[in-house]
Amino acid sequence: MEIDVRGQRAEDALDALDRYLDNAVMVGMPFVRIIHGKGTGRLRQVIREALQGNPNVTHFETGADNEGGEGVTVVHLDTK
């Protein structure tokens, strides 16, 4: 499961991300992918800052090269 927020303003991307993560936790997804693109890195930065404060997130990491590398964040969720 993934969400693509490339090209969105940070505020809009964070709103979409909150809804997306809530839904992913409700259906028991163990991890999700956030596609934020590479660009300037600003969107990646604000998304990762938001993830650090989310109680449903156990950890996150940069996507593998075949997933998009620096343009993707893989988020591992607390499914308990």
Domain annotation for the chain: domains and CATH numbers: 2-77 (3.30.1370.110)
Q: Calculate what percentage of the chain has a pLDDT beyond 70.
A: 100
pLDDT of residue 79: 80
Q: CB under 8 Å to 74, separation ≥6 — which residues?
A: 31, 32, 33, 34, 60, 61, 62, 63, 67
The model's confidence at residue 1, banded by pLDDT at 50, 70 and 90, is confident
What is the average pLDDT across 21-45? Answer: 96
Mean pLDDT of the chain: 96
3-state DSSP of 61-72: EECCHHHCHHHE
pLDDT of residue 7: 94
